[in-house]
Amino acid sequence: MSESEQEPEGVEQQLQVLIDQEDHHKILDLLEILKTPDIGHLITASPPRQRMLLWNLFSEEQQSDIIQYVDEDIVSDLLESKTPIEIANVLEHVDSDDDVTDILQQLPDVIMVEVLRSMREQDRERVETLLSYPDDTAGGLMSTDIISVRAAVTVDVVLRYLRRHTELPPMTDSIFVVNRHDILVGSLPLSSLLVADPNTTVRDVMSIDVEPIVDTMPEDEIAGLFERFDLVSAPVVDEQGKLLGRITVDDVVDVIIEQADHSILAMAGLAQDEDTFAPIMKTARSRAFWLGTNLVTAFIASAVINLFEGTIAKVVALAVLMPIVASMGGVAGSQTLTLVIRNMALGHVMEGNKRWLLNRELAVGALNGVFWALVVAVVAALVFNDPLLGLIIAIALVINMIVAALTGVLLPGVLKSMGIDPAIAGTVVLTTVTDVVGFMSFLGLATYFYM
């Protein structure tokens, strides 16, 4: 393999040696092998000291290219030592306004205002328009870098107009057609434009079967539209139909990845924007809240156990078996909860099918509950030579797994209606419910039969 074809992982190992030696010239020579996205990935994947060393080796113009490919959560660290004017100089060479907006949103508000003041008036107006939208809506996601034409002009005029551009906006698959009030009336696919008669008007070859995205649409619904209709780009309009910008598939891929990251990290109580190489104290603080929340729920489960202290003291086998009931309910509930949260994100769970889903999950919970209850009952009865104990744990298992299925289906909707993210809080609440119900049913039944 030639030097220019080395894998980023191999370069990364060589860089680590050169960073330790602080040989800046050789580091730059080695970085020339990598493409800009690889450099962005390398900076993101480096611990803080190495990250800043690499970043500071590049000129402002090079940093403008690189910063588009680093994780958003480390942007503020990379720009921390720069003045607002220097940050504005970096952002001046960033390709698209939506990337500039994403970067600015990572900065403290005071710094962001100063940077905006340092930008050219035309650039500032476009960026401020995007900043006026929540970043999880179409308006916050769109790019204002678009090409539009009128329906009355000929194809030849459009082609000559395009040739005046040095390059087209990335992911351009269609030219948008607007009227004199900039209201979207259709789109002109490049595939149609290139083969059409030059003397034909745009009106004759344009497509009116275009579904624009309203600027207030949430990003998860946008991702669903792109997936459903295999879109490459889509126009964004306001409520009056005025063309504002466009969203491209690469933006939607970022949304999908962010949603996946959010779901995975939230299940563990981690923030989506947590830097893998963040300082120890910052990481500890970000995780402390959910550890504390989990401690509170653990105390609740312990309090339930304490209610049956006398029963456990007389029937020691209960202390051995009761974790089984809570654990089986927790796993069954987590399966249902994960399934429901995923399908809510995809837009598959609606009012019309919730009852069917609930009935299905209750039936599955009951069937699995009965099957594993029989298995555990037989084992418990044989090991402790107590058929009654086997019956008690069997009943408790069935109860807890049905409750787990019920909670897994209903909990995401309840949390969402309260403005709480189900992906973050769902697991903690579910575990508390299955622990409390599991211990209460098992130890309560044992108290009834033994005391």
Domain boundaries, the chain: 3-137, 148-265, 280-450
Task: Report the SS3 class of residue 358.
Answer: helix
User: At 271, is the pLDDT very low, low, confident or very high (cuts 50, 70, 90)?
Assistant: low
The DSSP annotation for 136-196 comes to TBHHHH-B----EEETTSBHHHHHHHHHTSSSPPTT--EEEEE-TT-BEEEEEEHHHHTTS
Among 358, 356, 371, 440, residue whose Cα is nearest residue 405: 358
- pLDDT(286) > 80: no
Hey, what CATH class is 148-265 in? alpha beta
Q: Distance (Å, rounded) from C-alpha 413 to C-alpha 419? A: 10
Task: Report the SS3 class of residue 45.
Answer: coil
Q: Distance (Å, rounded) from C-alpha 238 to C-alpha 139? A: 9
The predicted pLDDT at position 274 comes to 59
The predicted pLDDT at position 268 comes to 59
Which homologous superfamily does the CATH classification assign to the domain defined by 280-450? SLC41 divalent cation transporters, integral membrane domain (1.10.357.20)
| CA-based R_g, the chain, Å | 29
What is the tens place of the pLDDT at every residue in 129-163? Answer: 889 998 889 999 998 888 999 999 999 999 999 99
Q: Tokens 């275009």: give the residue.
A: 210
Q: Distance (Å, rounded) from C-alpha 155 to C-alpha 68? A: 35
Structure token digits, residue 396: 């408790």
- pLDDT(228) > 60: yes
Hey, what CATH class is 3-137 in? mainly alpha
Average pLDDT, the chain: 86
Predicted TM-score (pTM) of the model is 0.68
Cβ proximity of 444 and 405 under 8 Å: no
Q: Distance (Å, rounded) from C-alpha 435 to C-alpha 328? A: 10
What is the tens place of the pLDDT at every residue in 34-85? Answer: 888 888 888 888 888 888 888 988 888 889 999 988 888 888 889 988 999 9
Q: Distance (Å, rounded) from C-alpha 318 to C-alpha 205? A: 77
The predicted pLDDT at position 267 comes to 61
